[in-house]
Structure 1
């Protein structure tokens, strides 16, 4: 199945666990050196009780594969953009980025870890500019990070 065969839609409560599982698989694959601040059950609870009900959460659903990607927006912040590892490099991230920019035409900002060079290249390709670098003391992972902004 390619990215043209998927549905991107707002998440509902029934998507929370599958969305958390995509986040967990993606984080593990993309950030193997970053210490996770919460265990799997805590991440699933966070998606169930906080992320899906309280934030603008979008999912990509690929037939029987189920949820294969997620985008979470909060005001002008792109809070989360994670893809199932098997869906990286297939255009899904580009589709989520187009959606995020349509939803927030006034601009967006986000944080990514400094060790995540592929994410930095992705965001820069989509017009984001690095505006701040930190030592990581303000995030739960204690991992140096970068704040990016897109201003149309």
Structure 2
């Protein structure tokens, strides 16, 4: 059984491990140098961030979501548990808190774009660069019930 809860300080190492495994499984478009630079940035803030976690019966995080002012900044699922509905469960939880939630997704991550569209998000725009100015285009999405 999966439960949704807020992160605690002792979840930091696990959420970084989830992020790394998920990125390695889904972001093969990143250059090795960009992957390392993003990793360093993520390790600097993710362990202290307020996250929504999907945890198993032993309270072990399996996936996480970061929402800032109604914008989903991150959604990552441990690849071992992909396809089990954890991402959808977290998104639905986020939508109960922010019914007009928005998010951005890397254009090169076609599986993620499809996931959000199946969840009811629609494209609202595109940026040629990611948030750090790297050449990874973003698709802007908003939930449209």
Same fold, judged at TM 0.5 (above) = yes
Give the secondary-structure state (helix, strand or coil) at the position aligned to 2:37: coil
Distance in 1, matches of 2:68 and 2:74, equals 9
Query: TM-score of the superposition, structure 2-length normalised?
Result: 0.87
Q: Could you tell me how far 1:24 is from its partner in structure 2?
A: 1.0
Residue in 1 that maps onto 2:120: 127
Q: Could you tell me how far 1:43 is from its partner in structure 2?
A: 2.5
Residue in 1 that maps onto 2:64: 70
- Residue correspondence of structure 1 range 26-45 to structure 2 within 5 A: 26-35=22-31, 36=35, 38=37, 40-45=39-44
Residues 16, 140 of structure 1: CA spacing in aligned structure 2 closer, same or farther, 3 A cutoff? Answer: farther
User: In angstroms, what is the RMSD of aligned CA positions?
Assistant: 2.0
Distance in 1, matches of 2:125 and 2:21, equals 28
- CA displacement 1:86-132 (0-9 Å, x = unmatched): 11111111111110100112x01111011111111110011111111
Count of aligned pairs between the two proteins = 142
Structure 1 portions without partners, runs of 5+? none
- Residue correspondence of structure 1 range 2-17 to structure 2 within 5 A: 5-17=1-13
- Residue correspondence of structure 1 range 1-150 to structure 2 within 5 A: 5-35=1-31, 36=35, 38=37, 40-49=39-48, 51-52=49-50, 57-63=51-57, 66-105=60-99, 107-136=100-129, 138-150=131-143
Q: Could you tell me how far 1:42 is from its partner in structure 2?
A: 4.3
Give the secondary-structure state (helix, strand or coil) at the position aligned to 1:38: helix
Q: Could you tell me how far 1:26 is from its partner in structure 2?
A: 0.3
Distance in 2, matches of 1:111 and 1:37, equals 21
Structure 2 portions without partners, runs of 5+? none
Give the secondary-structure state (helix, strand or coil) at the position aligned to 1:90: coil
Q: Could you tell me how far 1:79 is from its partner in structure 2?
A: 0.7
- CA displacement 1:42-77 (0-9 Å, x = unmatched): 42232124x23xxxx111122458211001110110
